Amino acid sequence: MKKFDFEIMETGQGPAVLLLPGSFATPSAWKGIQSNLTIPIRALSTSLPGYGTTPEIRPDNDADIGRLVEFVGQIVDAVGEPLHVVGHSWGAHLALAAVLAKRIKPLSVVCFEANPIFAQVVGRPFPWRPDIDSMVNRFEAALADGDPEAASIIIDFYSRPGTFLEMPEAVRNFCRASAPTNLRDWHSAATFTPSFDAFAAFDLPVTLVRGSETPVPISDVNEQLMAYIPGAREKVVDGADHFLISSHTAACSEILQDHIAAISI
- 265 pLDDT more than 70: no
Would you say residue 138 lies in a domain?
yes
For 107-162, how does the pLDDT look when each residue is reduced to its tens digit (9 = 90+)? 999 999 999 999 999 888 999 999 999 999 999 999 999 999 999 999 999 999 99
Would you say residue 245 lies in a domain?
yes
Average pLDDT, the chain: 96
Question: Is residue 78 located within the same domain as residue 167?
Answer: no
- 99 pLDDT more than 90: yes
Q: Residue 1's pLDDT is what? A: 66
Residue 112: domain span: 9-123+194-264
Count other Cβ atoms within 10 Å, centred on residue 45.
25
Q: One-letter amino acid identity for 195?
A: S
Question: Is residue 94 located within the same domain as residue 69?
Answer: yes
Q: In angstroms, what CA-CA distances link 208 with 52, 89, 93, 189, 233? A: 26, 11, 11, 19, 6
Would you say residue 3 lies in a domain?
no
Q: Residue 31's pLDDT is what? A: 96
Question: Is residue 20 located within the same domain as residue 117?
Answer: yes
**DSSP state at residue 120:** B
Would you say residue 68 lies in a domain?
yes
Supply the DSSP string of 22-65, one letter for each residue.
-TT--GGGGHHHHHH--S--EEEE-PPTTSTTPPP-S-TT---H
User: Confidence band (pLDDT; 50, 70, 90) for 254?
Assistant: very high
Q: In angstroms, what CA-CA distances link 30 with 9, 81, 122, 230? A: 11, 21, 34, 27
Question: Is residue 19 located within the same domain as residue 135?
Answer: no
Question: Is residue 208 located within the same domain as residue 148?
Answer: no
Question: Is residue 112 located within the same domain as residue 219?
Answer: yes
For 209-228, how does the pLDDT look when each residue is reduced to its tens digit (9 = 90+)? 999 999 999 999 999 999 99
For 151-209, how does the pLDDT look when each residue is reduced to its tens digit (9 = 90+)? 999 999 999 999 999 999 999 999 999 999 999 999 999 999 999 999 999 999 999 99
Q: What's the total number of domains in the chain?
A: 2
Question: Is residue 77 located within the same domain as residue 204?
Answer: yes
Q: Residue 108's pLDDT is what? A: 98
Question: Is residue 69 located within the same domain as residue 92?
Answer: yes
**CB-CB contact of 140 with 198 (8 Å):** no
Give the separation between CA 202 and CA 151, rounded to whole angstroms.
34
Question: Is residue 13 located within the same domain as residue 116?
Answer: yes
Would you say residue 4 lies in a domain?
no
Give the separation between CA 75 and CA 227, rounded to whole angstroms.
29
Q: Residue 191's pLDDT is what? A: 98
SS3 216: helix
Domain boundary among 187, 204, 229: 187
Question: Is residue 110 located within the same domain as residue 238?
Answer: yes
